[in-house]
Amino acid sequence: MSSASDPTAPTGTPAPARATQYSYEDLLACGRGELFGAGNAQLPLPPMLMFDRIVSIGAEGGANGKGHVLAEFDIRPDLWFFGCHFKNDPVMPGCLGLDALWQLVGFHLGWLGAPGRGRALGVGEVKFTDQVLPTVTKVVYGIDIKRVRLGKLVLGIADGWLEADGTRIYEAKDLRVALFQAQGSPAA
């Protein structure tokens, strides 16, 4: 794994090293609450984990210069959703691609070191121009961070997209995810 420095760390405080890529095993560890610590951002476990690896994550870069995440999902005809959505007309539900983008915004907040459990709050606009069919081999998801608020309320806002075999087919504007402290826990 690569590492990057933390531009959000207070001046004079050594920044912790963070990986810039994550394997499937790393993502499973995040789903078990082992990556960012107990009570903090977690990914869902399979079958709801909607990507196989994060190939790039940073606190800078992306379309807005405020951070980005790129993740990949290997598509196979035997994936669980193709068997039930729909009979004799298999297609990945668009809501699963949208959920993957929310998952990435929450992961980015946890990666920044923000405390709390992630919850999707909404999205401004979503556009689907094609479908993820069993004939697709790879989906690439990307998010470009627009705003991060680190304080009592931890909030991430990003634009996202999905490419199927290199063609952009989903776009989402203003994906919103917040991290919440468990009830009874002190606020950050």
Provide the pLDDT for residue 182: 74
Residues 6+ apart with CB under 8 A from 77: 90, 134
Listed residue (108, 2, 122) closest to 59, CA to CA? 108
pLDDT at position 67 over 60: yes
Q: 85, 96, 131, 140: which one is catalytic?
A: 85
Q: Are 174 and 146 in contact (CB under 8 A)?
A: yes
Any catalytic annotation for residue 85?
Answer: yes
Checking if the pLDDT of 104 tops 60, the result is yes
pLDDT at site 158: 99
Phi, psi of 94 (to 5 degrees): -60, -30
pLDDT over 90 (residue 66): yes
* Structural domains present in the chain: 18-180 (3.10.129.10)
Name the pTM for this structure.
0.89
The set of residues, in sequence order, having a beta carbon less than 8 Å from that of 165 and lying 6+ positions away, is 136, 137, 138
Tell me the per-residue pLDDT of 41-56, one tens digit each, with 9 for 90 and over: 999 999 999 999 999 9
